[in-house]
Amino acid sequence: MLTAALAASASCTARGGPAADGGTGTADDRRRPFTLVATGDVIPYPSIIRQAREDADGDGYDFTRILAGVKPVVSAADVALCHMETPYGDEDGPFTGYPLFRSPPQLAKALRATGYDGCSTASNHSLDDGFAGVRRTLDALDAAGVRHAGTARSEREAARPARLRAGGAEIAHLSYTYGTNGIPLPAGRPWAVRLLAPERVIADARAARRAGADVVVVSLHWGTEWQQAPDARQRELARRLTAARTGDRKDIDLLIGTHNHVPQPYEKVNGTWVVYGLGDQMASFVPAAKRSGNEGSMARFTFTPGPGDDGWTVTGAEYLVGHSDTGPPFRVVRATEENFPEVHARVREAVLSRGAAGDGLTEGR
């Protein structure tokens, strides 16, 4: 039933989202290559929230300085997608960390100021503050002009992807999570969080195509935490989802993984790029055994249109290295061989560990 609604409503603009041709506010019908950047889990732990408070000089919470180090990469993309792991609380708090997160809604404005056009919101923490947390999160993202997929305030909203536009292409963004840490879906609102089931993902992707999507991007919150190698379930789902086709056209153009906290490999599966796990974009793990949770990759893909009315293909695949530098002060930065050589080496090894270099993946500049 939801997929039928998806097909009917996907032509509607996501409520409150940015005009999505690189966030310019204008629709561009010219068919030209465009870049899409995707980054990992945004998890504002209490120490990060304290930093944002300090950066705001005690007047609210300012996350823009925390994210300034990756703004050049994010803002330069035609479309940039984040993963908003945690729900938002009221503007004045209280705010909490693990195991039940409640984050400052001011983060949404900082994501937009950094250059993000949309975020996946389906995660195992989506219901940490119940349905009220879902509503507050999406209200804040709307107010900031950031589109979202994966959680919803209504059945109608749940039934449509986030829609963006770049290079003359209509882009549908879908988002799913393996679960919600045992928290049941809200009574009477089973659509509040999009749960991961392969038949649902494929049906939703096909509905988005029928509604006019040129490119379908799927974000998956999946896998085994703290494990660099994709687990058997991830590999199975990747094979099944990338094999899905309608006629001679693939149903899904790109799979982006989150949840694992550590960077996982990129790989081409059935001719489609799969990022098993980006790692964390914003996190502050302190124990030495978990400091790899402060590292991640940033994926950048170039989509190019075929001649005439032919579809779009990925003609460029790149990764860049991101790092949550715990400081002080805490800052999210791009890691290179020069500034964080050990971090750079570890992320590079993880990203390339399933032969992605042979499929054409390169490090971005």
pLDDT value at residue 28: 53
pLDDT value at residue 82: 98
H/E run at residue 206: helix 198-210
Mean pLDDT, to the nearest integer, of 142-164? 97
Q: Residue 88's closest CA among 149, 135, 41?
A: 135
Write the pLDDT tens digit of every residue in 100-119. 999 999 999 999 999 999 99
User: Can you state the angle between helices 198-210 and 232-243, rounded to 10 degrees?
Assistant: 30
pLDDT value at residue 19: 38
pLDDT value at residue 5: 41
Neighbours of 227 (CB within 10 A): 15
At residue 150, what are phi and psi to the nearest 5 degrees?
120, -30
Neighbours of 72 (CB within 10 A): 11
Mean pLDDT, to the nearest integer, of 233-258? 97
d(C-alpha 290, C-alpha 40), whole Å: 16
Name the pLDDT band for 21 (thresholds 50, 70, 90): very low
Please say if the pLDDT value at position 2 is more than 60: no
Contact call for residues 145 and 18 (beta carbons, < 8 A) = yes
Q: What are the extents of the domains in the chain?
A: 2-10+33-363
Helices (H), 11-159: 46-55, 64-67, 71-76, 107-114, 130-144, 155-158
pLDDT value at residue 289: 87
pLDDT value at residue 115: 98
pLDDT value at residue 29: 63
Q: Identify the CATH class of 2-10+33-363.
A: alpha beta
pLDDT value at residue 277: 98
pLDDT value at residue 146: 98
Write the pLDDT tens digit of every residue in 73-105. 999 999 999 999 999 999 999 999 999 999 999
Name the pLDDT band for 308 (thresholds 50, 70, 90): confident
d(C-alpha 123, C-alpha 259), whole Å: 8
